[in-house]
Amino acid sequence: MYKIVPVYRLGGDEFVAILEGEDYENRNKLKNDFNERIERNMKNDSDVVSLGIAEYIRGKDNSCKRIFQRADQSVYARKDDLKHRKARLI
């Protein structure tokens, strides 16, 4: 089970959660679990949201902005994938 981490609203429908410790170490499982839920939601015509993950890269990231930009790219790539897959289901 995952521990509860703080979630911050960036604006509109965008949120950020900063993973630490065990949650950070298990980030790929967390992402896979989340995406499996979204897959079930698509099949049940329920709510569908997109997830993107970006990691801090020591020596490359000199601001949070760079990390958020990569996370945004990840979110929008997933969102496009979900839209195309949903169109095929219809």
Number of domains into which the chain is organized: 1
Residue 63 lies in a domain: yes
pTM: 0.77
Residue 14 lies in a domain: yes
Q: Which long-range contacts (CB under 8 A, 24 or more apart) does 27-36 make?
A: 27/53, 27/55, 30/2
Per the structure, the complete domain to which residue 79 belongs is given by 7-89
Give the pLDDT score at 90: 53
Average pLDDT, the chain: 88
Mean local confidence (pLDDT), 50-55: 92
Residue 2 lies in a domain: no
Residue 56 lies in a domain: yes
Q: What is the 3-state secondary structure (H, E, C) of the chain?
A: CCCCCCEEEEECCEEEECCCHHHHHCHHHHHHHHHHHHHHHHHCCCCCCCCCCCCCCCCCCCCHHHHHHHHHHHHHHHHHHHHHHHHHHC
Residue 1 lies in a domain: no
Give the C-alpha distances (Å, rounded to integers) separating 58 from 13, 24, 39: 29, 16, 33
